[in-house]
Amino acid sequence: MSYIRESEPEDDGDSSDLSSSSSSSLSSDRVTNAQEIKGEEVETRIPLSTSVVLDKLPAGQQEQLGKTFQEYEQRQDTSADPIRTTASEETAKISIRFQPIGSTIAINPKVFKISSTQTIATLNKFLCKRLKQTRLCLYIQSSFSPAPEERIGDLYNLFRTKDELIISYCNSVAFG
């Protein structure tokens, strides 16, 4: 326990008188301070191992928990519907317009249709075979080069122009 002592005013008297009176006053102060501290309620820390585990929640909390589970199940049911609609969109064909950059050979016809689940790597292989090239650089709308694992459907949803995805291609790095 800790005790807080108040400083006593100094008297101009004898030092012998101070020592005897101060020792008796200090012990009486400790007793009164200790009684004051014992009178206050002190919270004790209880370890979790001694806590009680509830078998059942109170009625209000049980109802709230039930509502939360129902809302979660409803969200799961409604989120299943958009997944089904996107699955049908994934199998859709997407129009892709190819534009050569610089002195690269142009491909005929310029517009092709491809499944939205295909990747840019697949499209790059197709163009390389068609143009009889070993390497081509592809760009979306002449601005950035997509990652090879990027899906055509995702790019189409983000960067389509007049219901076509415009892909520019060239023999060497054209931008950046």
Q: Does residue 30 sit in helix, strand or coil? A: helix
Instruction: Please report whether residue 61 resides in a domain.
Output: no
What value does the mean pLDDT take over residues 14-33? Answer: 49
Q: What is the CATH number of the domain that holds 146?
A: 3.10.20.90
pLDDT tens digits along 108-123: 899 999 998 999 999 9
Which comes out higher in pLDDT, residue 20 or 50? 50
Q: How would DSSP label each residue in 56-77?
A: S--HHHHHHHHHHHHHHHHHHH
Which comes out higher in pLDDT, residue 51 or 169? 169
At residue 87, the pLDDT reads 53
Instruction: Please report whether residue 175 resides in a domain.
Output: no
- Tell me the Cα Rg of the chain: 41
Question: What is the count of structural domains for the chain?
Answer: 1
Q: What is the span of the domain harbouring residue 145? A: 93-170
Query: In angstroms, how far is CA 33 from the centroid of its own chain?
Result: 53
